[in-house]
Structure 1
């Protein structure tokens, strides 16, 4: 009995095998090949305990291409990864974005990153000082000669802490212990009594801060004074910030401090179509994006495309903003939007579509 067999795409004949192999190699090596079309988007985030990782996962869920939110050591590490082409896009504090573009502070050895580009900013990140209630710490000055977790090298929280210390005329030697644990470990260190305080530059509410308050009766305290006044007045990336009352406990008062903004950045070398796709995924479904975390509740188009962006806009992002009428067409793509200029009236995002979420 004769059985009809369908010949596979790569037939076993020697000539067919050679032709098939050549086709596969072409897909790997030639721009526009099948593998390039399926290239995974990698978003550099930070600790799994912070809002950066939530943000990366949220963007991935709005995208159709394969997408991964990658845990990292934080803003400085992410900016290095962008510079070296290790990630597609990454999150970074607005202050560290400024340092990277200018080649100052922790980036003085490598120099200015002329290829760094902005996409948009996200939530505000108040500088948060969490202390054990039994420590007797009531204000920042009380931290002198105390054990403090200042954050791991490369993290945004450490960068902000070092800037505040510099403005105050302090160094890490002013603490009895300057611990460098990452954000996902610091609350337990506080609860175990190994440190008296921890700092975190983060959007709220935050799981790590909530854990410290819940497990060891910790408290958030104000961070102010002359040094903070000078930071806010002299730097374009710091602003006054308030942590709302009652978000961690019914008796938790509003906390006055200062802060930065989270920003999404990429290299100028990153494919403009990929950047356009990422930006469109967020702004075409902005209500859906904002639903992923309470820290996004006050986001507006105006704030996202105007605030905290030192690096010029990426051409893929700029093209999208021009298409929506949010930025004038004659604005040069190498110029960061001028906050003094009025944008066109915001176009309301489309109604959220809860289906078709991308992979994380």
Structure 2
């Protein structure tokens, strides 16, 4: 299980160093993100742009690739498809422990964290005419539970388990990707959509602009029990006024978005990627409203349920942060 994936062996063979320690041979890095309407994709594209600007110095180029989401990114890191991947902090924890949905392949003990980004909130949005004002009202409705490998699918399944449900409680359990949800809601093909995402979000904005839709509270006794049992979740809230027709705050549960990698990735490669982000952090914070409140202290400590990669730790020590 801990054998080095071919991608890491190739990396070691292809990348050499000059006497100054700079990377000599060009190497293409890959970051698994999420759907192209999501924040993971924005973050990955932005980090790659920062890294690529200094290619002549460190010899690295970076591609941010769309994916099915955090669960898929864990598997991508495991099998060498992605060198880095965004995921929720709960996915990072579950992958390390080898618990569902990662139990089939066993614990991913060499998973390493680089930094966390925005808080993500499990979001339920329903058509007003579907008469859904609580989680219990989802029973008997047409609900998009999310595509396999996505964060919303995994979290919704945990919520369903806490409530003693399975997908048969819904009139229809759709498996649409994030980018397909807003139009499906507007076309009245589903009654409610689910998303585990940072806010504000383009898909939620689209859905609430084109459709009379309401955010649904994710709360109640079963949710309180879930929070007690699953400490990688915490209480969260979607601020009021972010979206048309939703003027008041909506309670829910949340987690942090984390960029992760394998311990087998070169410390110099990780160092250069981390440096690219933090050297451009103020610019990065302007690229999406969800990034606006990021700060270094929280990014290198909060939500990191896996150990820091030694390349990231090297940069943080140089900056005097650790």
Query: Fold-level match, TM-score > 0.5?
Result: yes
Aligned twin of 2:124: 129
TM-score (structure 1 length as normaliser): 0.80
Partners of 2:236 and 2:251 within 8 A in 1: yes
Q: Computing the radius of gyration over CA atoms, which structure comes out larger, 1 or 2?
A: 1
1:231 CA drift (Å)? 2.2
Aligned twin of 2:30: 42
Does residue 120 of structure 1 match 2:115? yes
**How do 1:88-237 and structure 2 match up within 5 A?**
88-237=83-232
Does residue 59 of structure 1 match 2:53? no
Q: Aligned pair in 2 of structure 1 residues 30, 261: CA closer, same or farther (>3 Å)?
A: closer
Measure, in 1, the Cα distance between the counterparts of 2:64 and 2:212: 32
Aligned twin of 2:256: 261
What are the superposed Cα offsets for residues 216-268 of structure 1, whole Å, 9 maximum, x if unpaired? 11121211111221222232311111111111227532111111111000011
Partners of 2:33 and 2:86 within 8 A in 1: yes
Residue correspondences, number: 300
Partners of 1:40 and 1:68 within 8 A in 2: yes
Cα RMSD for the two superposed structures: 1.8
The correspondence for 1:244, drawn from 239, 242, 245, is 239
Measure, in 1, the Cα distance between the counterparts of 2:295 and 2:186: 37
Partners of 1:83 and 1:115 within 8 A in 2: no
After TM superposition, the structure 1 stretch with the greater mean CA deviation from structure 2, 294-303 or 97-106, is 294-303
Measure, in 1, the Cα distance between the counterparts of 2:282 and 2:220: 37
Partners of 2:143 and 2:173 within 8 A in 1: yes
Where in structure 1 do 4 or more consecutive aligned residues deviate above 4 Å? Answer: 28-31, 33-36
Structure 1: which 5+ runs fail to align? 1-27, 328-360
Q: Aligned pair in 2 of structure 1 residues 30, 285: CA closer, same or farther (>3 Å)?
A: closer
Q: Aligned pair in 2 of structure 1 residues 228, 270: CA closer, same or farther (>3 Å)?
A: same
Aligned twin of 1:32: 16
Measure, in 1, the Cα distance between the counterparts of 2:24 and 2:79: 19
Structure 2: which 5+ runs fail to align? 1-11, 56-60
Does residue 296 of structure 1 match 2:312? no
The correspondence for 2:77, drawn from 75, 79, 82, is 82
TM-score (structure 2 length as normaliser): 0.89
Q: Aligned pair in 2 of structure 1 residues 320, 138: CA closer, same or farther (>3 Å)?
A: same
